[in-house]
Structure 1
């Protein structure tokens, strides 16, 4: 027994601990080209980071009564953000009522966080969303419970961006799944209709759809009938994103082995039972990364609604720069809204990575 144990221990390969210098040599200096790129990158960082830190913190102005005081320093003027943050975040919503969009944003973020809890992935989650969106609607519109009515033409800033992104993702995903199934259908009429829609929508930019929803759509409506501008923009975003979701989901469906379909047939399951219980869960697991990429792109693309006059976060930031007393601080305001976009997009990315690990797709390379 002892001899066998010693032999086994001798046959085991030695455990080599990765050292920092070994890792750097293998990853950063493993070729002349990589060595040159590493040196250039380090040089750029050493040149840029101290200057950015000095501009953003050491010489920055954090409090000022006017833009004139900020112009006397060479650093950033964060006092501008402190002065205009309510306009940037809430747009032209009545100043005295801006606590309402603030609570609406908190409610939307809470809904998104609850949606990441897998124990709620059932009918209760739908109920939570219905209650949550009712609360958001009451807060934003008012007109009940003693709240002043506020038209959505006065909405702006972060609430509008979150509403467009949240509803856009929530509606585009199931619509895209249906389109993907329709494109793989054996019924020629449905397949042709889905293929035509997907290729037509993917062949035009989102800006074109927004213009058409804002300018052309009202021309086709019956006389006296109107659709709200915010709703028209949401429809365009959903139509655009659904086409890309459909192609992504179709790729996941094609990656499912044929044996899975045959096994479902052998169990006597109907088409919709096969899709719901066997095929779609596997396909959606495979395409989690590209789906999240579409959702992140859609969240950022909500800023394009500025071209049809919707007061989203980007347009609210531009409006803040029109004050003559605070002109010339565009860098600071765009850094501020970029940080907001980054927080939401990075959170989506990290959650998708955690979800992919938790579901253990089995398709890692």
Structure 2
């Protein structure tokens, strides 16, 4: 019997998909040179981009004088932190490198890529001609320790131990930075540069996430007192500029607490950044909660799950997965907004660059300094953005 006799009448044999042309010439013709008008626009845009790229490259590699960076490299990265106590900062970096290597070996995926990028940054710093020999030793040790941690995490099942050490990393870092009497005390007035920027951003991100999560859940609460308090907080903070929040934290907070309670300037800035970021994160998370179909709640209740268990194990995982891009975008925004603390007297990376530019010895080097600051921010924001994309890909965000 012929194959055509077995097929129902009216149905045709399926055809193979059309062949896709992927040659460069065809792609250029279809996308950039479809007609004469598009061809002229493409050529004009390419000419302008080439001219702009040439001007920027000529200034960066020929005209600019980068001699301002080597003598101020330490100030830009760690501020006025005492030179004889820098081993404490390096110890924290070594511990972070070990934890990152252990995490990369245990979980693979995103942590492996972050460890690779950090190792690449360390290698670039090693290649800089003005880096001191002692710094090269510390950087080399960090790379080796990260590799050793990767091997340990790969061959041994120590995920729980790594998580516990990550939790203890924050107080350990605070102890190393300050000393608290057990080590020579280093006041927060000596913290500055990129060290202060990274510290403010890390605390704001870590502390604002649970606070924003509680605010988002509280705004959806059926208890009027909790619901309207969360609504009032979120709308008030989102309606006020960040610089106003920082001024309130620096000036009004000590007055509200009275003269008997003294709060450090850096802690005040951390509180202001955390309060501001939590309000925006709460709205991002609330958007994720609203995207969950009502059927998810009904199915969980039909299985006998209570509201707290349903929220923690059914709703929140789906909601947080849906808003990963917006949350990471907010983390990047708060990381860049830490530069505003220079207005309230804290000398972060941008503030240190401004102080160096005001030095009579380095007048006229503003562009080089600010471009260096922009490069540092770009590198770390790019790492956050790349990690976000890898997390989205691993969780299948947007896939059907």
Report the TM range for the smaller structure's normalisation.
0.7 to 0.9
Conserved in 2, the CA contact under 8 Å of 1:89 and 1:157?
yes
Looking at structure 2, the residues matched to 274 and 342 of structure 1 have their Cα atoms a distance apart, in angstroms, of: 40
Conserved in 1, the CA contact under 8 Å of 2:103 and 2:159?
no
Conserved in 2, the CA contact under 8 Å of 1:292 and 1:352?
yes
**Change over 3 Å in CA distance of 1:122–1:99 after alignment to 2:** closer
Deviation at 1:236, TM superposition (A): 0.6
Q: TM-score, normalised by structure 2?
A: 0.79
Match of 2:241 in 1: 205
Conserved in 2, the CA contact under 8 Å of 1:88 and 1:317?
yes
Match of 1:68 in 2: none
Conserved in 1, the CA contact under 8 Å of 2:216 and 2:282?
yes
1:149-187 Cα deviation digits (max 9, x unpaired):
111111111111111111111111111111111111111
Conserved in 2, the CA contact under 8 Å of 1:176 and 1:243?
yes
**Residue among 358, 373, 395 paired with 1:337:** 373
Q: Does residue 97 of the first structure (1) align with residue 85 of the second (2)?
A: yes
**Change over 3 Å in CA distance of 1:311–1:295 after alignment to 2:** same
Give aligned pairs, total: 345
Looking at structure 2, the residues matched to 289 and 133 of structure 1 have their Cα atoms a distance apart, in angstroms, of: 25
Match of 1:318 in 2: 354
SS in 2 for 1:149: coil
Conserved in 2, the CA contact under 8 Å of 1:168 and 1:237?
yes
Conserved in 2, the CA contact under 8 Å of 1:160 and 1:313?
yes
Conserved in 2, the CA contact under 8 Å of 1:89 and 1:313?
yes
SS in 2 for 1:96: helix
Conserved in 2, the CA contact under 8 Å of 1:104 and 1:159?
no
Deviation at 1:114, TM superposition (A): 6.5
Match of 2:199 in 1: 163
Q: Does residue 16 of the first structure (1) align with residue 52 of the second (2)?
A: no
**Residue among 241, 244, 257 paired with 2:277:** 241
Match of 1:228 in 2: 264
Q: TM-score, normalised by structure 1?
A: 0.86
Match of 1:297 in 2: 333
Match of 1:41 in 2: 45
Looking at structure 2, the residues matched to 139 and 313 of structure 1 have their Cα atoms a distance apart, in angstroms, of: 20
Looking at structure 2, the residues matched to 109 and 31 of structure 1 have their Cα atoms a distance apart, in angstroms, of: 54
**Residue among 56, 60, 68 paired with 1:52:** 56
Looking at structure 2, the residues matched to 32 and 229 of structure 1 have their Cα atoms a distance apart, in angstroms, of: 62
Q: Does residue 279 of the first structure (1) align with residue 279 of the second (2)?
A: no
Conserved in 2, the CA contact under 8 Å of 1:105 and 1:159?
no
**Residue among 237, 260, 266 paired with 2:296:** 260
Looking at structure 2, the residues matched to 278 and 343 of structure 1 have their Cα atoms a distance apart, in angstroms, of: 36
Match of 2:167 in 1: 130
Deviation at 1:224, TM superposition (A): 2.0
Q: Does residue 352 of the first structure (1) align with residue 388 of the second (2)?
A: yes
